[in-house]
Copies of this chain bind each other. A is one copy, B any other.
């Protein structure tokens, strides 16, 4: 439903890059979940620009909770979180209206909204909208954690550098969730950052791949066909304009495998059903099998680059060139990581509420 995600637990996002505020309304979270404002702030910090490799637009991301929280707990009714926009330099943008930034939604928004779109800074298509998602997701992550469900995402690949693989989910997840630049191997992270800086100097940008793992989900979550775990997660994650691919488990590699390689052999250990491999990413027939749920998202290089590009002016209907002069990120992969975690948490709360009822997440 357009800007609303979910059924039993639903999130509605609103806002534009240079409007009054961005934010989100979360409906359907059960009553009695503790709301930790410090954790929300921490998660927003993970999304904020980072050192030299990010946009100089620095905002404190102060948020207010307008409803749905009372005595620091969820009331069970809709939670509206508002994050006012500050430090907006709208004049940067108004002059260039009509110039379609390649890879961006300027032209499609113009086409869809007949010239009524808020074009400043990408308007409603700006990555800034994800701040509302992250704030909402923080409450969901907190609630899941209390149920023993953990989520973490690392930068699997960025600017041509690959991070190490997970070796021990449990310990690495906790470490990752504290890091500003979420790599398992920090030396790989430093290489990535160097390459990002290099691309920035060349007025260019880089992309990457994020890998996410979810631990602690019970078996039997998800529905066959159109509410499969894959359907629900991909629907939500492809909402982020920069995501161009999603794969679960071994994903596209399955095309080169034999059935006997791809199939994950079941076994029972201490009365718990497990699989020897996890090529299916913890999901069989759309439903969790108790193994870690794993998936990867391809994040494209930031479309806003300073390099001169060919494009059109859709107001004058002319071919022309563009040099984007505003403040931009040479890479958003590291910032997108907390967005992926947040969206994942919100989708899982929805699926769990469908299975166990609205109250389940709130139970002690």
Contacts and interface: CB of A to CB of B under 8 A. Distances in A.
Interface in A319-364: 319, 353-360, 362
A285 B105 contact: yes
A186 B318 CA distance: 43
Given A75-B124, A354-B8, A311 B265 contact: yes
A39 interface: no
A207 B247 CA distance: 15
B226 A231 contact: no
Nearest to A328: B259
A212 B309 CA distance: 29
Dominant secondary structure of chain A at its interface with chain B: mixed
A298 B31 CA distance: 31
Contacts of A208: 255
Interface stretch (A45-53, A146-154, A175-183, A299-307): A299-307
Interface in A63-115: 64-68, 70-71, 73-80, 82, 100, 102-105, 107-109, 111-114
B302 A14 contact: no
Report, as a range, how many residues of chain A touch the other chain.
35 or more
A19 interface: yes
A28 B2 contact: yes
Contacts of A223: 2-3
A43 interface: no
B117 A207 contact: no
Interface in A203-236: 204-209, 219-220, 223-228, 230-232, 234-236
A238 B286 CA distance: 8
A102 B239 contact: no
A191 interface: no
A107 B284 CA distance: 8
Contacts of A158: 255
Interface stretch (A54-62, A135-143, A164-172, A266-274): A266-274
A125 to B, nearest CB: 4
Interface string A279-310: 01101111111100000101111111101011
A187 interface: no
A10 interface: yes
Nearest to A78: B14
Chain B CB within 10 Å — which of A68, A77, A253 has the most? A77
Contact of A107 (B118, B207, B266, B276): B266
Nearest to A84: B66
Nearest to A233: B238
A289 B20 CA distance: 28
B3 A78 contact: yes
A264 B103 contact: yes
A244 B248 contact: yes
20 contacts: A1-B227, A2-B10, A4-B10, A16-B77, A23-B66, A77-B123, A102-B263, A105-B224, A129-B225, A204-B259, A206-B258, A230-B238, A231-B235, A239-B286, A245-B247, A254-B301, A260-B307, A268-B319, A280-B300, A355-B357
